Structure 1
């Protein structure tokens, strides 16, 4: 529509310029170029710019809405995390909320990749936890991403203890991802259903953070 209108204007200008002698046509051309043609062309260009700006604003508004929804979701997760009833003061730790975006490694030794890295303060050996318990630890970091070794990785080891009586042990996993506690003192009192938490002497994880429960002895 805009292109057709421009063609009509140009056609009318050509007809007007056609009439008269050479001097008259030159005068009319100068007059029309100053009073009609150039202002019209500039207006069309400005309309194009306004249209592009509006489209860009719509795109940015949509992206902002996505980020707001994403931020609200993370805030809700944080509130749920704070209400978990942890046995240590979470205000003494600096938490960084992140999402798992990919995996690396083989099926048996699969690592997790998250969307936060050095720029967010993530460092190697940082513990990774959720409101359900431990997740793993950071093993490598880039500016915007980090790799987590999950707790059921065959190379992952963690000092743990029973919450009920502080019996100490080492959490480990086999190549099939089956998790167990080893290095227990012989004769230790252990019951099905006992809660396992991180050890008081863990150098990475906060002490007494929930790990799981005993399902088999």
Structure 2
């Protein structure tokens, strides 16, 4: 038996990441499909106060619209010196959604006077799986994982996306954008969350 699972994101790098992790987890019989492979549907704005709320809302919308089991994530950066911001606003911190360069510039400017010992941060990912059920009774799973580190003062590295070029995992020497994809998958917030979700995906193919 096989099962199609929709990843409710238009981010091609997230789609590739989930496909890699599902393959590595040995979740046989799971076909991960992207938004371009299903009929278009209205996508509600991200208005939740938490990563969990946003991920679950996106997965519910996708499952309802397509009839497929749907996975969605909401992730972002929490900065201790900014009282946990940008948080759920990470992708639109500078105003326009998904403008990585503007977000980086704004955040670095806000932290310009923050000393190195107070530049702690963490990437957070909440991932939700919604499986349509009989008579509209869907089953739902929501998981959250964090990846602690510190923020460097200048972007470094060409891999990854978002805030990866200024995030040094565990306070190490390399930024997340300097890690190879398989290195990042093994330790990142999203990698942790998606691996934790893999057994639930495997159940769909049984």
TM-score, with length taken from structure 2: 0.25
Structure of larger gyration radius: 1
Higher RCO (C-alpha 8 Å, min separation 6):
2
TM-score, with length taken from structure 1: 0.24
